[in-house]
Chains A and B, each alone.
Chain A
Amino acid sequence: MRVLVAEDETLIRLDVCGMLEAAGHTVCAEARDGAEAVELARSLEPDLAVLDVKMPHLDGIEAARRILEERPVPIVIVSAFSERVLVERAAEAGVFGYLAKPFREDRLLPAIATARARFEELVAVRSEVESLAEALAVRKAIERAKGILMEKEGLTEAQAFARLRSASQVSGRPMRVLAEAVIATFSTALA
């Protein structure tokens, strides 16, 4: 995995990077403060981010929130502090793990493995939601275009559908695009 590590204390940062690399991960970016973490997450698109909470300029939780606003990525917060208000802020920001310092690889590695896995599950469910929404939108557009063709051209349903399909094959454009074109043409004619 390509991991972004944000930690202002150099020794701890080197230590965390060492643990990750020894486990076969690549540290693709090292940030010394939250603002730098946001910038590097944007430019390098890591697979996962490990963020310290107390950092200069921007704390790790606010950095997590900004990173997630731009692009979904699993984030594990590491912190010497675990007060309820911090944990709730982190959870609301969207992090998948919260690990107390100090830690060794036996704690860090399971934390990032579970974070990544549950993140991927969420992404998969969300993309299924989107593809279903898309499929429904396509069906709706085609139904409407079919209705218009039947009415305007005096076609049967099967003929209307066949016409849309052959137009799609001839033009090499998806049926949805053609259906929307039919709908748009008809709406303009009405107006």
Chain B
Amino acid sequence: MRDDLEAAGRDGPLRVLVAEDETIVRLDLRGLLERHGLQVCGEARDGEEAVRLARELDPGVALLDLRMPVLDGIEAARRMTAERPLPIVMLTAYSDRSYVEKAIDAGVFTYLVKPFRESDVVPALRTAVVRHGELLRARRAIGAKPVRPVVIGLRSPSGADWPPLRVGRKDDGSLEVDVL
């Protein structure tokens, strides 16, 4: 599993995308992460920017604030993981159960409560990367199986036929759905 830590950092330190709208907190996070040998490869000030930077920079892990302008951290997490598997750690001032559940649904690996502590942030990122690597390997094992795509015909409640869907699997094991 050590190779996941290194693979996530490719040939160097673990590359972290930080999304946090408050400048002081963001700078603080950058300093903290760099002190621990992690590399901040991108800084986003809102959720939309975070999604774009995740796409462009291909980070090893993302650290997202929950409450951000334009797009909140949970929706950003959902969009990021829909595009590409990525371990995400959520950082927030809210520990309410409903937020935690939404974050879990969005695929978030760990949920950290502010005020954040150095001693929580770094272990959370490292643990998330390794467990996510394990999950990816398991998914790839499914992707490696020759599963024939199936075509599903749908009928809407009103009786009209919807176009058939072709459901297959991508190499990483996630589902691929095409409208025929």
A interface with B by C-beta (< 8 Å): 82, 84, 87-88, 90-92, 94-100, 106-107, 109-111, 113-114, 117-118, 121-122, 125-126, 128-129, 132-133, 136
- B142 at the A/B interface (Cβ < 8 Å)? yes
Q: Are A91 and B127 in contact (CB under 8 A)?
A: yes
C-alpha spacing A94/B135, complex, angstroms: 11
B contact residues vs A (CB 8 Å cutoff): 1-2, 5, 36-37, 95, 97, 100-101, 103-104, 108-113, 117-120, 122-124, 126-127, 129-131, 134-135, 138-139, 141-142, 145, 147, 173
**B142 and A128 within 8 A (CB):** yes
Are B109 and A118 touching (Cβ within 8 A)?
Answer: yes
A132 touches B138 (CB 8 A): no
Selected contact of B139 from candidates A95, A97, A125, CB within 8 Å: A125
Q: Given the complex of chains A and B, what is the CA–CA distance between A161 and B176 in angstroms?
A: 33
Listed by A's residue number, 12 A-B pairs whose Cβ atoms lie within 8 Å are A82-B122, A84-B36, A88-B2, A92-B130, A94-B131, A95-B127, A107-B95, A110-B100, A113-B104, A113-B111, A118-B135, A132-B142
A132 to B146 Cα, complex, angstroms: 10
Residues of chain A within 8 A of B112, CB atoms compared:
107, 110
Known: A82-B122, A100-B119. A122 touches B110 (CB 8 A): no
Residue ID in chain A nearest B2 by CB atoms: A92
Known: A82-B119, A88-B126, A106-B113. Is A125-B104 also a contact (CB below 8 A)?
A: no
- Judging by beta carbons under 8 Å apart, are B138 and A96 in contact? no
Q: Known pairs A100-B120, A106-B113, A107-B95. 11 more at Cβ < 8 A? A: A84-B122, A91-B129, A94-B131, A97-B127, A111-B111, A113-B97, A114-B103, A118-B131, A122-B138, A132-B147, A133-B145
A136 touches B145 (CB 8 A): yes
A120 and chain B: residue at smallest CB distance = B104
Query: How far, in angstroms, from A148 to B122 measured CA to CA in the complex?
Result: 59
CB pair B135–A121 under 8 Å, yes or no, is yes
A177 to chain B, nearest CB (A): 23
> Could you tell me the distance in whole angstroms from the C-beta of A51 to the nearest C-beta in chain B?
13
Q: What are the residues of chain B within 8 A of A91 when measuring CB–CB?
A: 1, 5, 126-127, 129-131
**A132 neighbours in B (Cβ, 8 Å):** 142, 145, 147
Q: Is the beta-carbon distance between A99 and B131 smaller than 8 angstroms? A: no
Instruction: State A92–B2 Cα separation when bound (angstroms).
Output: 7
Find A114's partner among B1, B37, B104, B138 (CB 8 Å cutoff): B104
